[in-house]
């Protein structure tokens, strides 16, 4: 019997278990998935929790319920990958052999990378919303906050879901308007990028929205430290931005397991072929989702598209066939813009987000790069899709893993 081992039972790992158990069956194959956690969080919901739009119950389920019965779920911390020996070593010293290894250990925040960020103001006036605990603490703070300077901040790229901090700023604008206290709150968006977003076309649309909502933008801000005493963030050039509440996205890093195993780059991401999702060093190791270093967005939609392609590639690999180099970096993201509206963007390695309609060319019903209520309904409906369709590895009808070019108004991405 051969062994396929998946590290991480988050969005990406769970989808792979659900895809592969249909194809790699006993007695020829045994599939195991290893994760120490009990809870599976719907991470896009962390954006809504601080504004009391979702409750904790909406976004938490158990890891077990999404793992197929014929896949062994091993609840353990992984101590080390021994890639030269094709083994994984668990926390208790036990070793597991693998023929194929899938790394889906994700990315997480590392506030300790920035001096002062995890200091005495952490979860008092300095918050993250990329963890359940952070989003919940922020919800409690916002419930009875009486106003002041709200600073929404990105430490450095890449981060999971690069649009989430913008959405946070838009939703905050809406939230305080609804509470009739928008005039008591100044919102500043602070980014290390030169503009609102990484892609020029989308930046134009998003900058317009920031202006419209009176959200100030501070760009090219490379943070040096959080000054807890004076409640300000300071960049390397000496620029200081005061805050009453700082909502920051700390540096994101891959799992420390990669550092312990000598397999990661300087941010613990695993060097990965961006088309095949195969490790650049070990042919029987594949990487998907936030754990890899490919130049695609770190987002659930990307992991979803990757999972479909990686399933094919793993089946090719176990049959000794050449891999099909297919993944095009496809990402498809709703961007909440407040007041029950949202934008939708669709892009890949080479194409910028553009205007048009999705998923049916010329029809929609969703509009790309334009605010609409329908897009917002799409974003809310996505939670149901996530739990009931996406994690189970069921194909979402009409949405292909590679990006469709019809019905869209294209210009090639710059810098390509």
Partner 1 sequence: MEKVIAGKPITVNEEGYLTDFNQWDEKVGEAIAAENHLSLTPRHWDVIRYLQNEQKNQVALSIRRVGKSGVVDIRELYSLFPNAPLKTATKIAGIPKPASCI
Does position 3 bind partner 1 by CB under 8 A?
no
The least CB distance from residue 290 to partner 1, in Å, is 12
The least CB distance from residue 193 to partner 1, in Å, is 5
Report CA 108 to chain centroid distance, whole Å.
9
Chain residues 397-416 in contact with partner 1, contact rule CB under 8 A:
415
The least CB distance from residue 50 to partner 1, in Å, is 24
How do 60-62 and 148-154 pair as beta strands?
Answer: unpaired
DSSP state of 197: S
The least CB distance from residue 85 to partner 1, in Å, is 30
**How many angstroms separate the CA atoms of 370 and 346, rounded?**
12
Considering only 91, 124, 178, 222, the residue that binds partner 1 (CB under 8 A) is 222
Place of tokens 């019809």: 406
The least CB distance from residue 220 to partner 1, in Å, is 4
DSSP state of 389: I
Q: What are phi and psi of 90, to 5 degrees?
A: -85, 170
Does position 357 bind partner 1 by CB under 8 A?
no
Number of H helices, E strands in the chain: 8, 24
Residue closer to partner 1 by CB (options 236, 360) is 236
**How many angstroms separate the CA atoms of 196 and 200, rounded?**
9
Residue closer to partner 1 by CB (options 108, 177) is 108
In angstroms, the first-to-last Cα distance of the chain is: 45
Considering only 220, 256, 340, 411, the residue that binds partner 1 (CB under 8 A) is 220
Residue closer to partner 1 by CB (options 125, 332) is 332
β-bridge mates for residue 244, sequence order: none
β-bridge mates for residue 331, sequence order: 347
Cβ-Cβ contacts under 8 Å for 16 (sequence gap 6 or more): 6, 102, 104, 288, 307, 310, 311, 393
Place of tokens 């194909």: 395
Residue closer to partner 1 by CB (options 156, 312) is 156
Does position 266 bind partner 1 by CB under 8 A?
yes
Does position 73 bind partner 1 by CB under 8 A?
no
Name the 3-class secondary structure at 320. coil
Does position 199 bind partner 1 by CB under 8 A?
yes
Residue closer to partner 1 by CB (options 21, 253) is 253
The least CB distance from residue 333 to partner 1, in Å, is 11
Of 130, 105, 123, 141, residue with least CA distance to 45? 130
| Total of chain residues touching partner 1, rule CB under 8 A | 21
Evaluated on CA atoms 193, 196, 200, 202, the torsion sign reads positive
Chain residues 277-316 in contact with partner 1, contact rule CB under 8 A:
295-297
Chain residues 314-343 in contact with partner 1, contact rule CB under 8 A:
331
Does position 268 bind partner 1 by CB under 8 A?
no
Does position 259 bind partner 1 by CB under 8 A?
no
Contact residues for partner 1, defined by CB under 8 A: 156-158, 162, 192-194, 198-199, 220, 222, 224, 236-237, 266-267, 295-297, 331, 415
């Amino acid at each position: 019997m051969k062994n396929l081992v998946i590290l991480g039972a988050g969005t990406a790992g769970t989808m792979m278990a659900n895809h592969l158990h249909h194809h790699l069956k006993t007695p020829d194959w045994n599939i195991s998935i290893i994760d120490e956690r009990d809870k599976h969080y719907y991470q896009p919901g962390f954006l809504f929790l601080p504004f009391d739009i979702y409750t904790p119950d909406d976004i938490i389920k158990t890891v077990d319920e999404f793992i197929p019965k014929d896949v062994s779920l091993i609840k353990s911390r992984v101590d080390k990958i021994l890639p030269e020996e094709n083994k994984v070593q668990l926390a208790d010293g036990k070793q597991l052999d693998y023929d194929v290894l899938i790394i889906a250990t994700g990315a997480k925040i590392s506030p300790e990378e920035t001096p002062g960020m995890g200091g005495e103001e952490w979860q008092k006036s300095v918050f993250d919303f990329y963890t359940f605990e952070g989003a919940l603490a922020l919800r409690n703070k916002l419930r009875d906050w009486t106003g002041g300077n709200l600073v929404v901040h990105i430490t450095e790229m890449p981060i999971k879901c690069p649009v989430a901090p913008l959405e946070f700023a838009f939703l905050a604008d809406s939230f305080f308007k609804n509470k009739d206290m928008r005039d008591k709150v100044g919102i500043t968006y602070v980014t290390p990028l030169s503009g609102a977003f990484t892609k020029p076309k989308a930046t134009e649309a998003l900058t317009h929205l920031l202006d419209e909502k009176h959200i100030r933008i501070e760009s090219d801000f490379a943070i040096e430290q959080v000054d807890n005493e004076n409640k300000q963030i300071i960049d390397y050039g000496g620029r200081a931005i005061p805050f009453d509440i700082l909502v920051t996205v700390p540096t994101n890093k891959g799992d420390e397991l990669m550092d312990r195993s000598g397999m990661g780059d300087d941010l613990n991401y695993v060097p990965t072929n961006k088309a095949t999702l195969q490790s650049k060093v070990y042919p029987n190791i594949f990487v998907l989702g936030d754990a890899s270093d490919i130049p695609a967005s770190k987002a659930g939609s990307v992991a979803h598209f990757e999972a479909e392609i990686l399933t094919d590639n793993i089946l090719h690999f176990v049959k000794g066939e050449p891999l099909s180099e297919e993944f095009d970096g496809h990402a498809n993201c709703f961007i909440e813009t407040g007041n029950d509206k949202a934008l939708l963007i669709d892009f890949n390695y080479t194409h910028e987000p553009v205007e048009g309609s999705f998923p049916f060319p010329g029809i929609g019903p969703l509009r790309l790069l334009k605010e609409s209520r329908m897009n917002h309904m799409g974003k809310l409906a996505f939670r149901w899709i996530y739990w009931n369709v996406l994690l189970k590895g069921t194909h979402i009808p009409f949405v292909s893993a590679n990006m469709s070019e019809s019905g869209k108004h294209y210009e090639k991405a710059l810098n390509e």
